[in-house]
Amino acid sequence: MSVDFFVSFVQVFGLPKSIGQIYGLLFVSAEPLPMDDIVSQLGISKGSASQGLALLKSLGAVTSQTIPADRREHFEADLNVSRIVTHFFENRLQPRLEHGDRRLEEMMELARTAKREKKGDGAAAVLTRIQALQKWQKRGRNLIPMVVRWLKR
């Protein structure tokens, strides 16, 4: 079932199961669906549906529209999964890595200060560990542009 496929997919990125359920349902739906239908078909709470739809809209994975003679907002999946994943990498993951860079540099400075002031025998070990994290951080920063280029092919 497509819902299960998308649940597995979003969980790889650490997103809640409901995000995959909502997107999977909208992906196979021939018509845009109102939130009430999404809630009833998936058996999720209105709160989960609301938060999930808001996140999916912010990722560009879902658009909303109004249907004449129906005051409810209806939702439709963007079927271009590559564009959605690219958006996620560029607009969600990249900023987090940049924030991580700043945090690691702050940690490094604290560890260097502790080592200079000899505030504990573990400062050198902490410095080594932070340097290892910085290497992984750099690998992540270098990987994202390659993944985005691959997705855009």
Band of residue 90 on the pLDDT scale cut at 50, 70, 90: confident
Rg, the chain, Cα only = 21
Interval 29-81: pLDDT, tens:
999 999 999 999 999 999 999 999 998 998 888 999 988 888 899 999 988 87
34 token code pair? 């109102």
User: What are the helix (H) ranges across the chain?
Assistant: 2-12, 17-28, 35-42, 46-58, 81-88, 94-116, 123-151
pLDDT of residue 119: 65
Q: What is the pTM of this model?
A: 0.67
Average pLDDT, the chain: 86
Residue 21 in this model has a pLDDT that exceeds 80: yes
pLDDT for res 36: 95
Residue 89's pLDDT band, with cuts at 50, 70 and 90, is confident
Structural contact between residues 28 and 76, judged by C-beta atoms closer than 8 angstroms: no
